[in-house]
Amino acid sequence: MIKGFKKQLLGIIGLSVLLLSLGTSAYADVTEQKVEVVGSGLRVFQTALKFDDIRLDVKKSQASKAETTMTVIDGRGSDAGWTVSMSSTDFEIEKSVNGTLEKFYIPASAVEITTDYKGPVTGATINFGSGQGTLSSKLIVSNAPQSIIQAKPSFGGGTHQFNVRYDLKLPQTISKQDGTKIGVLQGSYKALFKYQATSGI
């Protein structure tokens, strides 16, 4: 009786272990996990811009230049491409003439801008030579916005740096508020350069 009970008990235990073993090997857990990637926007900034001083010399053409590093950050994650545009006010100076304060101008068109690609800080290289974007070469600056750098859709994601060169050719004459032309006056001329980064091209 006891022997039979032992055999029966062993048989039950053996079956239980077998069932547990089969159950463990046949069990699988599949769950879907998600990671949300949030875009951080499109931004552009550059290092300080300062033109070289000009010493007046009426016998020859005169010029000034400035060079900066521009950084474009495209963290949108959309591969939409982007355009950096620039506009400028005319260079302005105020002078007292016969006790009256008057304004005089050097046109924004006195400046030419050239952009060169330094390379990516993060992201894939933009191959401008194969048409993945466009740069500017001696673009005449205007009061209206103009494209100075473009990355076409599917390119330009990440952080990219550019050399930007500004060449100012001092004209022989400047303009008064009423349009009258006079010789160049000494002093500090100021202009407002405006930059904007927009989606697409």
Q: How confident is the model over 13-47, as pLDDT tens digits?
A: 444 444 444 455 566 778 777 677 665 799 999 99
Residue 160: inside a domain, yes or no? yes
Could you tell me which of 18, 1, 122, 137 has the C-alpha nearest to residue 73?
Answer: 122
Residue 10: inside a domain, yes or no? no
For residues 109 and 174, the answer to whether their CB atoms sit within 8 Å is no
Residue 145: inside a domain, yes or no? yes
**Residue 83, Cβ density class (10 Å: 0-12 exposed, 13-18 middle, ≥19 buried):** buried
Q: Which CATH number is 65's domain given?
A: 2.60.40
In this structure, the chain runs to a length of 201
pLDDT of residue 27: 65
Domain count, the chain: 1
Residue 86: inside a domain, yes or no? yes
Q: How confident is the model over 160-174, as pLDDT tens digits?
A: 999 999 999 999 999
Three-class secondary structure of residue 75 per DSSP: coil
Could you tell me which of 158, 165, 193 has the C-alpha nearest to residue 77?
Answer: 158
> Domain span at residue 57?
42-199
